[in-house]
Structure formats: structure tokens, C-alpha cells
Amino acid sequence: MRKRTIPILALVTAGLLLAISAGADASASIFRVVPSVDTATAPISNDYLFSTASITPQDGWAVGFVSHPDTTEHTLAEHWNGTRWTATPSPDGTSGSQFGAVAAVSSKDVWAVGLQNTNLALEKSATLIEHWNGTAWSIVPSPNAGTEGDRLTGVAAVSANDVWATGYFSTSTDILPLFEHWNGTVWSVVSVPNVPNRFNFVRAISAASSNDVWAVGSTVDTHSGNTDELILHWNGTQWTVLPTLPIGQNDLEAVHAVSSNDVWAVGRALGDNGGESRNLALHWNGKAWSKVPVPNVGNSVNPNFLSGVTALSSHDVWAVGAATGGADGVNQSLIEHWDGSAWSIVPSPPNPNGSPSTTLGGVSAVAPGNVTAVGTWNSAQQGNPGLRTLVITTSRG
């Protein structure tokens, strides 16, 4: 765990870099590793990519942050031009800045959200929102709701004057959902009534339309210690918290709305009595949420989780994450596909540079045969150990 900054995603928190065994022949993968940019420096440093947005096959973004040896973190934004990834300068906030999510309206209208530290000694954070206008990234003022810290973990763009950012904020007693809306001029906080517990973490958001927006995360009962999925919906007027499903303890990490009656949320089902987590997929059919079987790698002692989801249609949905690969506990990326009938594991490509471990955090798609996922791989380079950026994309299919 890095000092001074509270991590932005579960991928960097407890259980980070869990991940898989191969589970299938990597040589048969329709995915390939695409070189991406690392700006970390020796002796020990890390580069993370958490989220990606595809505008066209020749125009895409990936965001995360860089952790340097001085433990100060810096925003990281990389752009895809159809041929290669390049790092694009993005400003930091007051200190210790991170990107956690990115969404695009167009090639000249892209939003990235995250956090910035306002008090390193007290580990207090504030919201960070930046905008790409086709030429440069700039910080756009964003409000804060908490007294003990705020962070943004997800963003969804409906139009140039309709963008949502979500996350959570802390008070002296509670952790509560944070929703902010862009109306084309200013960001403002939108309140959420009737949260179920004192500790609530919203991690992702997706919009089917301006009056049909979904957000997911987890809620913790401070009395029992149980963690349940947190699902919220915007109907154009207000946010509503949906009742918890009777399916055990769960934690949702990502959501994607294909249409008003076709929404996917993914994460992990938490094992009882300290058992390991397993992949979790929930589906909204326009009337109700239900749990859909999704395969895992390994047996019940191998942790699995899904941290990103995207869809091209109701029968072409992709989810990514990681799972533990055996007694040695090394990490390997996990890719799953929904064909309209069932989820199945898709072979991951060979790890870059012979890395012993990889994990995927986000995924986006613009056309069949054009799916991009981002994450990290573990570098074993002597003199500069740490995590490096990972981008994979479909080469066919």
C-alpha cells in the first residue's frame, strides 16, 4: 500500500492484484498486448491504468496514475491514435493526484475523474475532474461534500451538457455516495436520499439515457460487518437506492447500460466465513435484477473478481478482472464474454516481457473485433521493480 494517498479503486485496495491461472491456451487468444507508455522511474515506482474509453477505432483514452519514489502520485492519461499509445500531459491537483475513470462525448470532449490530496499529513482527499478539449487537459472546478475526504471513481457522459461523476465522501461518522452533474457550465452535487447503511461506496456509473442512469458499488452494515451490493438509479429527477438482493454478500465494481431493459453489473461475490471471492454478474431486464452464472478460474480457494464491463449489444458483452492462479498466488488477467446465452472465459494473451502476473481493471469497445482492456503487469526488471501499464486489444473476432 502506498503512503499518503487513499487508493481510488478496489483494484488498488485490499485484495489488489489477485488474479488468475491461465485457464486456457494463451496462444489461442484473440487478444494481443499493445505497447503502452510507462513514465515511472527507478528505484521503485508504479504505473497504473484503471479505465479506458473508445471513441472510434482510431481514437481512445486510458487513464490512471503514476506513483514515483517520493510517494507523490501524478495523473496519467494516454491516447490511442489507431497506431500507438502516447502519454498526454495532464495537470495534477494540489498534490498526490489520481485518475480513476474516463468517459468521452466526442474526440474533443473527454472527461477524467479521480482525486487529489489536500492534506498529505491527514490523508485527506478532494475531487479531481479534468477535461480534454481536443488539444489539452485542464482542471475543471468540482465541489466536495465531505468533511474528511472526497473521491470520484466513475464517470458517464450522455452529452456535452449532461455528464455524471460518482464516488463517495467521508464525514466523521459515515461514508456516503457522491454524485456530481455537469450541465454544460458547472459541476454541482446531487443528493442521494435514504442510503442503507453508514458506509457506502459507489464505484461506477453508466447511462442509457439522460433519465436512465445506473450506479453501483457496495454498502457495509457496521453492526454485522456484512457487505452487500449497492445499486442506485437516476430517473431524470432523483436518485433511488434499490433494495439489496437476497444472494449473499457482494461487492460491485462496474456497470454498463446497453439499453433501458439491458444493464450489466459485475464484481465479486464475497465468501462466507472468510472464504475467497468469486466472479459476480448481475443483469437488469427492465423490471428486476438477477444473478447470472459466470465461470471462475480454479476451485473455491482461488479468488476471482471482475472489475470492468462493456457491451456492443445484448449478445456481445465483455467483462475483465483477475483471479489467483494457484499455490504461488501469481496474477493473470481474466477475460469473459457474454454471447446472449452464457458467460464464458476467453483466453488472455501471453504476459508482456515474461511477467509473472497481470490484472485488468477496465474495458471498452466500439465495434466487433475492437475491444480494449487496460490494467497492470508486474515488472521484474532489476533496478526498477513495480507495476507497469498494460493494454490489450482484440486482433480479430
Pick from 297, 300, 306: nearest CA to 250: 306
Report the distance separating Cα 144 and Cα 172, nearest Å: 15
pLDDT of residue 299: 76
Torsion on CA atoms 50, 214, 220, 16, rounded to nearest 10: -10
Report the distance separating Cα 90 and Cα 358, nearest Å: 26
Report the distance separating Cα 199 and Cα 192, nearest Å: 14
CB distance 17 to 322 below 8 Å: yes
More confident residue, 343 or 368: 343
Pick from 310, 279, 105: nearest CA to 204: 310
- Helix (DSSP H) and strand (DSSP E) numbers for the chain: 0, 28
Query: How remote is the C-alpha of 292 from its chain's centroid?
Result: 21
**Is the pLDDT score of 12 beyond 50?**
no
pLDDT of residue 10: 37
pLDDT of residue 27: 56
- 24-38, 151-165, 377-391: which has the highest mean pLDDT? 151-165
pLDDT of residue 178: 98
Grid look-up 493526484 returns 97
State which CATH number among 2.120.10.70, 1.10.3720.10, 3.40.50.970, 3.40.630.10 fits the domain covering 10-394. Answer: 2.120.10.70
What value does the mean pLDDT of the chain take? Answer: 88
pLDDT of residue 276: 75
Assess whether the previous peptide bond of 69 is cis (omega < 30° from 0): no
**Is the pLDDT score of 220 beyond 60?**
yes
**Is the pLDDT score of 369 beyond 80?**
yes
Of 83-92, 94-103, 272-281, 287-296, the poorest mean pLDDT is in 272-281
Chain segment 68-86, per-residue pLDDT in tens:
766 689 999 999 999 999 9
pLDDT of residue 134: 98
Per-residue confidence at 119, pLDDT binned at 50, 70, 90? Answer: low
**Is the pLDDT score of 18 beyond 50?**
no
pLDDT of residue 140: 98
Of 41-50, 87-96, 190-199, the poorest mean pLDDT is in 41-50
128's CB contacts (< 8 A; 6+ apart) are 75, 93, 97, 98, 99, 113, 114, 115, 116, 139, 142, 152
Of 273-277, 311-315, 361-365, the poorest mean pLDDT is in 273-277
Pairing outcome for strands 137-139 and 149-159 = unpaired
Question: Percent of the chain beyond pLDDT 90?
Answer: 70
**Is the pLDDT score of 41 beyond 90?**
no
**Is the pLDDT score of 137 beyond 70?**
yes
**Is the pLDDT score of 9 beyond 50?**
no
pLDDT of residue 265: 98
For the segment 40-64, the average pLDDT, to the nearest whole number, is 89
CB distance 216 to 202 below 8 Å: yes
Per-residue confidence at 293, pLDDT binned at 50, 70, 90? Answer: very high
**Is the pLDDT score of 308 beyond 70?**
yes
Rg (the chain; Cα; Å): 19
Chain segment 197-219, per-residue pLDDT in tens:
999 999 999 999 999 999 999 99
